Structure 1
Amino acid sequence: MTKTAKNKTNTGGRPHSYDPNLVHQIIADGLAGGTPAAKLDASYVKEKLCTEHGVNGTIRKEALEALVDAVHAEIAEAESRALLKALPGGIASSVDAAVAAAGRELLLVVARQHVTSQGIADKACEELRADKRIAQHRVTELEGDLAEEKTARHKIEQERDAVAQQLADLQEELRVARAEIERLGREPAGFDRLLAELRNPANKADIRAVVSDIMATSSPEPAA
């Protein structure tokens, strides 16, 4: 692996107790020596700083880890640029054309799937709309039936109330008639009262006087 040039990496924050370029150098040397990048972590770098570069004092773990990650990213980016730069002329454009063609084919596949899916979705929506129309029509019919039933029930209630009122009126008339019959049953009839008066001995003198007056009034006067 090609050893990259040393670059000063600054992660900001509190000043380090060591030169950040040492971290870059340790990682670059490790990569050049064939050490896998995964093993060139903060612990590896810290040990190298202390044992080979004589760094004393406290080394903040979080700051060192951030610096190590930044160095790895910087080295990987530099290697990527170098690899791309080393490609023969025309390859990049050919790759771009191939990628564009593959992208177009992929877009066509997606477009066909979209059309198919859209057709299925449209059919499902139309079926749902048809079901909705049927349901709405059924609801309208049920509402009409309910309205007719309500009207018929109201008419029956009115007829029932009218019959009940007629029955109440008849019952009242019957009650009045019964009361009148009972009253008449308790009182003697007019003719019976008249006979009773005529048969009363105390009224004989008065009756004779009345009869005499009637006869005198009804007799014809003698001719002159």
Structure 2
Amino acid sequence: MIFANMDWALIGEATIDTLLMTGFSLLFTILIGLPLGIILFLTSKNQMLENGPVYQVLSFVVNVLRSVPFLILLIVMIPLTRVLAGTSLGVQGAVPPLVASAAPFFARLVENVLRELDPGVSEACRAMGANSRQTVLWALVPEATTGIVAAMIVTAIALVGYSAMSGVIGGGGLGDLALRFGYQRYQTDVMVVTVVILVVMVQLLQVFGDRLVARLNRK
């Protein structure tokens, strides 16, 4: 049989590594991208903290990081990754470039979600004397919760794909397994299994995300 000599323990370990990479990267992406997206929104034109220079600088940085192909970003960030994580290999070494790629993407999604809110929400808060921080925490973020959660799911799915690419520089996980065994050793069965697992991960994330968003919408 084609799968008779499959090392399932190794595949299980690679799957766990991919989940860890995705989980930690998503956590740091949210911690960085959510405030960044809010600042982008608040400093944009006709908003509470409108500031053209600040918005233009932040927007430029976000656009640059989003436009760099992830594979190139992986290689360019190797020296910085070693400083931040102590290594550029394995799960630990894959997290910094994953965050650097996903955080700007998530920030832009958050900015767009906030732009779609009814302007009357901010105006009502200002009329009641709320400052910018209170408006964001008590009105904008709660109103945008469903959209932000949907953005998190989209980002998590993107991170699954990015984590697979990190195998090119020894990032571990299913991508590294597919490269070392499926491609370099011509073990097609390993390649097939890794692809199937990645597809299942994405499908589970999408189903979970859709149900969570639907529940939040009902509330």
Name the TM-score class by shorter chain. Answer: under 0.3
Q: Identify which of structures 1 and 2 has the higher relative contact order when contacts are C-alpha pairs closer than 8 Å and 6+ apart.
A: 2
Greater per-residue helix proportion: 2
Q: What is the TM-score when the length of structure 1 is the normalising length?
A: 0.26
TM-score (norm 2): 0.27
